[in-house]
A and B are shown apart, each in its own frame.
Chain A
C-alpha cells in the first residue's frame, strides 16, 4: 500500500467502515509511515473541527417567520396578539346573544307575565 492508497481510505478508516483486511493493511502502513500518520492526524482534526461549526438560529427567528406569513397571507394566519383584543369579538357577541335568547325563551315558557290575566 502506498501513501495515496492509504490516504484515500482515511474517511472510511475514521468512520470504521473499512473491510477488515483493508483496515489491517492501512494500520500496517500507518505504523511504518510517519508522513501518513501526520496526514491522518490532520485529517482527523479537520473532521473534528467541522463538527464545531453548528450555528443556532437568531432569537427573532420564529417571530420574523410568523410576521412574514401574516403579511403574505393578508392577515389570515398569525395575527399579532394585540390585534386579538383590538378586533370586534364576534364569537363572544354571538354566544351572548344565544344565551340571552335562551333565557328569554325559558322565562316565557315557565313564568306568567305580571299584569296579564286569563280571560273570564
Chain B
C-alpha cells in the first residue's frame, strides 16, 4: 500500500468527509461496474454499490492494511452482490431482475464504454447495445462464482493475483472456472450471431 493510500485511509478512519469523497471518487465507478454486471439491474446495482461504501465508512476501523484497500473494498462489493443475488432469487420476480435490451440500448447512448463516439451510426449503435444485452444475459446465466471471475478478469481487467486475493481462490481454480465462463458466454453470443 502506498504512503498516499495509507494517509487517505488514516483520514477516513478519523471520519474525514473529504477522505470519504476521495475514496468514492477513486473507486466508485469500479464498484458500481462490478455490482452492475453481477446483478444486471441498474436500480439494484445503485442500491448495493451505495451499501458497499456505507459499509466501508462504518467498518474501516477493521481494515488493518494487510491487503490493498481496493482488494478489501472489492471483496465487500463481491460479497454484498452475492448476498443480493441470493435475496433476489428468493423473492418473487417482478420482471425487472435483468435490465432488458431497451435499457441497454438507452444506456449505450449515455454511459459505459460502448459510446456513440466509437460507433458510426444508429444501426451499429443498436447492434452494440444488442450485443451488450446478450452478453449481460449470458453473464447472468453463469453461476455466481464464475460470474464474479469473468467480471473481475475481463470487464475490470484485474490480474490473477488480485482476483485470488479478492476471491480467496487459487490461480488454477480461477483459470479453469474463467475458461468455462468465457466459453459459455461465447456460445451464447455465437448462437445469436449465426
Contact = CB atoms under 8 A, between A and B. Distances in A.
A11 B179 contact: yes
B189 A46 contact: yes
A82 to B, nearest CB: 15
A65 interface: yes
Contact of A49 (B29, B131, B157): B131
Interface string A33-50: 000000000110111011
Interface residues of A, number: 30
Chain A binding surface, main DSSP class: helix
A42 B186 contact: yes
Interface stretch (A21-29, A52-60, A95-103, A107-115): A52-60
A61 B28 contact: yes
23 contacts: A11-B179, A43-B186, A45-B189, A46-B182, A46-B186, A46-B189, A47-B182, A49-B131, A49-B135, A50-B135, A50-B182, A51-B157, A54-B29, A54-B155, A54-B156, A55-B112, A57-B28, A58-B46, A61-B49, A64-B50, A65-B53, A66-B17, A68-B50
Interface of B: 15, 17, 20-21, 24-25, 28-29, 31-33, 36-37, 46, 49-50, 53-54, 57, 107, 111-114, 131-132, 135-136, 150, 154-157, 175, 178-179, 182-183, 185-186, 189-190
